[in-house]
Amino acid sequence: MLVYQDLLTGDELLSDSFPYKEIENGALWEVDGKWVVQGACEVDIGANPSAEGAGEDEGVDDQAVRVVDIVDTFRLQEQPPFDKKQFVTWVKRYIKLLSSKLDGEKQEEFKKSIEGATKFLLGKLKDLQFFVGESMHDDCSLVFAYYKDGASDPTFLYFAHALKEIKC
């Protein structure tokens, strides 16, 4: 199994059990998330509840919660949204932070592709949700989520150069 960690903080952000598609010249990874029900456990003991006078909702687990699989699996923490000015300020700082962690070739790739990725994200800014890794460190990569044209499940976006592949 492969786990992808934030190059800046070491937080686990993704694994190979969630297939990705490269977009924006490989600068961003696009990953489909899914809403799942957690905590619901239906146990069939072989009884006939209708014959025993049970109501429709008897046996429903009150502890069941709907969560997004990627957010839950990697314990991502949602952050307040950015306006355009805040986002551009964050990107400038992020480019400096991440560039210092990349070697020569990767650094050049990142610098060439970040402008297109930033424009892409700015175009969706009002629709984006922002997440950080479990540590909630100030100097970390952001994970973005949005709902594609009427989709009921979110799509996540990751900066490809910010992910470090670890074999587990």
Q: Does 42 or 148 have the greater pLDDT score?
A: 148
Q: Using one digit for the tens of pLDDT, what is the confidence trace for 7-31?
A: 999 999 999 999 999 999 999 999 9
Structure tokens at 78: 């949602």
Looking at residue 104, the DSSP 8-state letter turns out to be H
* Residue 12 · residue 133 · CB < 8 Å: yes
Instruction: Give the span between the Cα atoms of 22 and 61, in whole angstroms.
Output: 39
Q: Are 142 and 131 in contact (CB under 8 A)?
A: yes
What integer pLDDT is reported at residue 63 of this predicted model?
Answer: 78
Global pTM value: 0.86
Residue 123 has pLDDT above 80, yes or no: yes
Q: What percent of the chain has pLDDT over 90?
A: 81
Model pLDDT for residues 95-106, shown as the tens digit of each residue: 999 999 999 899
Would the pLDDT of 53 be above 90? no
Whether 21 and 150 have beta carbons less than 8 Å apart is answered as no
Whole-number average pLDDT of the chain: 91
* Alpha carbons 92 and 87: distance in angstroms, whole number: 9
Give the residue extent of every domain in the chain. 2-36+73-167
Instruction: Compare 100 and 60 and report the one with higher pLDDT.
Output: 100
pLDDT-derived band at 64, boundaries 50, 70, 90: confident
CATH of 2-36+73-167, one of 3.40.50.670, 2.170.150.10, 3.40.50.2020, 3.30.70.20: 2.170.150.10
For residue 37, the cross-strand partners are: 66
Q: What is the pLDDT of residues 151-161, one digit of tens each?
A: 999 999 999 99
Residue spans of alpha helices (H) in 41-103: 69-73, 84-99
Q: How far apart are CA 133 and CA 151, in angstroms?
A: 25
Is pLDDT above 60 for 67? yes
* CA 144 to chain CA mean position, Å: 6
Q: For the purposes of burial, counting CB atoms within 10 Å of the CB of 132, is it exposed (0-12), middle (13-18) or buried (19 or more)?
A: buried
Inter-residue contact 157 to 142 (CB < 8 Å): no
